[in-house]
């Protein structure tokens, strides 16, 4: 007993030592005090003047979940996982949808925006300009270490190397662009198309929603495909109208041939006619009432139809994948129901086969199972102690006192002393 006690003491000391080592590795010095108490470990490196915040599975919640834990970042540094910053990003995505519609529209149908449309454009540009300033104070996740970097210099340098130039160009007001740019590129429409750079935010939003367990993957994917299709139709129609509006002879254009002096028609009629041509071409319907007339329009139609081949393949492939996924789930559901339907017609003794209900009769530590066994050579009775029933005695070289025929699966227990009690299966 003394040796066993000493062995237990050694094992406890080894276990305690391992726990201390784990604390030092995870928390560094002083880990004994802070291990298990802090939800977020903060590691500071004085030589590089950088600080990182460790992100465990607790800090990064499961898909679609929300965590109430707060990251310990430097002053004036915002966590990219903060709920308020997420709301700000979602608000900017709605502004991107507005930009995705208005930029091709102004490029194709307007020389320059006037009135409320111009004011709205500048307000939207102001929000994105504020986001540029805010990005310099938002920590980023290092892909190599999966740590939040909250050093202001590193944040600024990373943003400068990546998206700063494109974000600034897409936010310049139209009035300033027309004043600064030379005559060759002064036309507002071409510069306005650079705002489509903001579409990367929509792609990131859909990528996040597809992995969110609070949203149906099927409907999120369908919404994404619908947005891609509508954007392609809208852009193609606006570009096609731009070719007709800038052509030297308006009568020798696709819309001039159908409507005559189309420039004096209402903007709504021209836009609907353009969308009608774009959708009929995308769907390969081609009624023939609107078709290319000059060489520029023919070249544009060629590239647009080649693009439609790829877009149609993309849509059909994604929809097929979604339908097959739903069909496989339905097939598995029907298969499970078929098993349940079959089990209803299995005999009532299925419970006795799986989990037999035994009502043993005992006498001097002896057992017999009258529900599952039929005694052949002798009447059914309670055996004496130290005897075996049926063929189980053969395996233990004990003489049997009776023969047993089992009607279903069961277990027969030895009828002997408690300390020598052995189970045997028949």
Segment 24-77, tens digit of pLDDT: 444 444 444 444 444 444 433 433 444 433 343 334 444 544 454 556 788 889
Q: Greater confidence, 199 or 45?
A: 199
* Range with the poorest average pLDDT among 57-66, 70-79, 263-272, 330-339: 57-66
Distance of CA 32 to the CA centre of its chain: 38
For 135, phi and psi rounded to 5 degrees? -65, -25
Q: Output the pLDDT for position 59.
A: 40
Q: Output the pLDDT for position 326.
A: 78
For residue 398, pLDDT over 60 is answered with no
Helices (H), 138-214: 152-161, 164-169, 174-180, 188-192, 200-210
For 395, phi and psi rounded to 5 degrees? -70, -25
Give the residue-averaged pLDDT of 90-94. 92
In the chain, where the domains are located: 83-139+167-328, 358-426
Which has the closest alpha carbon to 94: 116, 127, 66, 65? 127
Q: Output the pLDDT for position 261.
A: 83
Is the separation of the CB atoms in 396 and 424 below 8 Å?
A: yes
Q: Output the pLDDT for position 380.
A: 45
**Cα separation, 25 vs 22, whole angstroms:** 5
Q: Output the pLDDT for position 271.
A: 94
Q: What contacts 347, CB < 8 A, 6 or more positions away?
A: none
**Cα separation, 17 vs 397, whole angstroms:** 54
Q: Output the pLDDT for position 176.
A: 74
């Amino acid at each position: 007993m003394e040796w066993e006690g000493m062995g237990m003491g050694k094992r406890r000391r080894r276990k305690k030592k391992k726990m201390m080592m784990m604390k030092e590795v995870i928390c560094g010095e002083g880990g004994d005090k802070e291990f298990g108490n802090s939800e977020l470990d903060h590691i500071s490196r004085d030589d590089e003047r950088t600080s990182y915040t460790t992100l465990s599975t607790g800090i990064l919640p499961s898909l679609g979940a929300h965590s109430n834990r707060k990251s310990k970042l430097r002053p004036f540094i915002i966590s990219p996982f903060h709920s308020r910053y997420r709301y700000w990003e979602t608000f900017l995505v709605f502004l991107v949808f507005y930009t995705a519609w208005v930029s091709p529209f102004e490029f194709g149908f307007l020389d320059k925006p006037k009135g409320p449309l111009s004011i709205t454009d500048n307000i939207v540009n102001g929000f994105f300009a504020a986001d540029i300033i805010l990005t310099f104070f938002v920590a980023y996740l290092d892909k190599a270490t999966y740590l939040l970097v909250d050093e202001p210099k590193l944040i600024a340098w990373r943003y400068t190397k990546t998206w700063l130039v494109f974000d600034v160009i897409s936010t310049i007001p139209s009035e300033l662009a027309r004043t600064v740019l030379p005559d060759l590129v002064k036309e507002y429409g071409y510069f306005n198309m650079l705002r489509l750079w903001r579409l990367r935010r929509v792609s990131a939003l859909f990528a996040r929603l597809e992995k969110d367990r609070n949203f149906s993957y099927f409907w999120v994917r369908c919404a994404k495909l619908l947005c891609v299709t509508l954007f392609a139709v809208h852009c193609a129609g606006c570009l096609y109208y731009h070719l007709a509006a800038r052509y030297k002879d308006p009568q020798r254009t696709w819309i001039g041939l159908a409507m005559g002096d189309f420039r004096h028609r209402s903007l709504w009629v021209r836009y609907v006619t353009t969308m009608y041509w774009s959708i009929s071409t995308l769907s390969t319907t081609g009624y023939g009432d609107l078709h290319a007339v000059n060489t520029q329009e023919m070249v544009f139609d060629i590239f647009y139809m080649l693009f439609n081949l790829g877009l149609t393949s993309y849509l059909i492939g994604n929809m097929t994948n979604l339908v097959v996924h739903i069909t496989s789930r339905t097939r598995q559901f029907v298969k499970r129901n078929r098993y349940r339907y079959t089990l209803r017609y299995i005999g009532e003794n299925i419970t006795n086969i799986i989990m037999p209900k035994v009502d043993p009769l005992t006498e001097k530590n002896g057992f017999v199972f009258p529900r599952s066994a039929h005694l052949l050579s002798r009447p059914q009775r309670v055996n004496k102690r130290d005897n075996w029933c049926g063929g189980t005695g053969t395996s233990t070289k004990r003489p049997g006192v009776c023969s047993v025929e089992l009607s279903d699966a069961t277990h027969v227990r030895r009828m002997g002393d408690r300390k020598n009690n052995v189970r045997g299966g028949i």
